[in-house]
Amino acid sequence: MIIKKLAAAFLAAAALLTTGSAVFAETTATATATKNDAATFAFDTNKSLSYVHSFGNASDTNLTLNISDTGALAGRCLEMRESFTNDVTNQYGGFYIDAADLGLETFGGYTVTVGVKVNKKVAKKADSLVLFSDGEQWVTSGISTAFPDSYLKCTLTVPAGIQNTKIGISLPITSSYDDWVCYVDDIVITDNYGNKMPNIGDVDTSLAEKPNAGLSALSIGLFIVLAVIVIGGIAYFIINTRRRFR
């Protein structure tokens, strides 16, 4: 009876580990959408970089825009990093996307949704980053720095009829800073009918197929430890049983 209970416990634990790995893999796979369902900008490949343009004090703050393997919602993301020691007094810097690059005359009537994760160090420098649209009218939406290291879903709607040709993110940091500022992932652009602009071609589908190495190693390690415990328990039971009948 005891052996059966130990065996049952072993199988249940093994099933739990297997199920946990499968659920995680499924979540990871579906989080990185296919090309048909992807965000307008997925930031999985360097192709994204040809669409993002720096502006303002980007040269003074040494702003860099890179595709990062870490910090993404899934796959990869855009990293915004600054490195400067002297305080800057001129306008803020950041990046923008031009409507013309997407075959549009204006972003008027369009809604932009973006995932942003802010470095906790930024909270000491500014209350918020700025999601904006520029052109005929300056339209903004704040990106709070009060929730660092967690992704925030930020949305901005440009009023219909407004001839705004740019959307982007501004970084209001003017005192010395040297680190990544924020990670940007999954920019979705929709028109006033709710139609989403297709992905620009920056999705790397192979990223969704890769198993999570960290979880796999953890599962294997736990499986081995569990196996040793169960086998040791069975051996202990058998030895004690044999001694009892000597």
Which residues are paired to 147 by β-bridges?
Answer: none
Instruction: Check whether 127 has a pLDDT greater than 70.
Output: yes
Instruction: Check whether 5 has a pLDDT greater than 60.
Output: no
Do residue 45 and residue 123 come from a single domain?
yes
The more confidently predicted of residues 242 and 77 is: 77
Give the alpha-carbon dihedral of 98, 104, 107, 111, to 10 degrees: -100
**Domain of 218?**
2-27+210-244
Give me the DSSP letters along 190-245. E-TTSPBPPP-S---THHHHS--HHHHHHHHHHHHHHHHHHHHHHHHHHHHHHHHT
Alpha carbon distance, N-terminus to C-terminus of the chain? 21
Instruction: Check whether 141 has a pLDDT greater than 60.
Output: yes
State the pLDDT at residue 91.
Answer: 72
Do residue 218 and residue 123 come from a single domain?
no
Neighbours of 4 (CB within 10 A): 8
Mean pLDDT of 163-191: 96
State the pLDDT at residue 97.
Answer: 98
For 95, the token pair is: 């990046």
Give me the DSSP letters along 154-174. EEEEPPTT--EEEEEEEE---
Do residue 61 and residue 171 come from a single domain?
yes
pTM, rounded to two decimals: 0.70
Do residue 88 and residue 183 come from a single domain?
yes
Q: What is the DSSP letter of 57?
A: G
Mean pLDDT of 179-194: 96
Name the domain count of the chain. 2
State the pLDDT at residue 13.
Answer: 40
Do residue 230 and residue 198 come from a single domain?
no
- Alpha-carbon distance of 205 to 151, in angstroms, equals 22
- Secondary structure element (H or E) that encloses residue 7, with its range: helix 2-31
- Alpha-carbon distance of 3 to 11, in angstroms, equals 12
Q: How far is CA 214 from the centre of its chain?
A: 17
Do residue 115 and residue 169 come from a single domain?
yes
